[in-house]
Amino acid sequence: MKYEIYQLDYNKESVKNSHKMFSRWEWLIKYEGGFNFQDYKKVYESEIKGHTEYVNNIQILEKIFEIFNINHPEDFHGHSLSVSDVIILEDKMYYCDSLGWKEIL
């Protein structure tokens, strides 16, 4: 199953002058003007192996989170997965919130 990881693009003015990085979803919506996918850049894409053992996308997202915090691939050059990062999985977009994942597309 293919997945893509997106992280905020620190070179964009809309990100530099904000508190969007590492913001939980509620804060982003209430105080930062909402979610804007244009603030992000793709930092990695790959496929998750053995995804049939997982019951749902949330379990797959948790596995990806674990991989990119404990033993991320050598060709990954972003920061460890954290709050405010986005993963696209099966044409659905998920925001990494302070507790769990927020499906946003």
Cα three-residue angle 87-88-92, rounded to 5 degrees: 125
Of 12-21, 48-57, 88-97, the range with the lowest mean pLDDT is 48-57
Sheet holding 2-8, edge to edge: 40-47, 2-8, 86-89, 92-96, 101-103
The CA distance from 14 to 67, in Å, is: 29
Dump pLDDT digits (tens) for 45-77.
999 876 667 778 999 999 999 999 998 899 998
pTM for the model: 0.91
Where exactly are the structural domains of the chain? Answer: 2-103
Coil, strand or helix at 79: coil
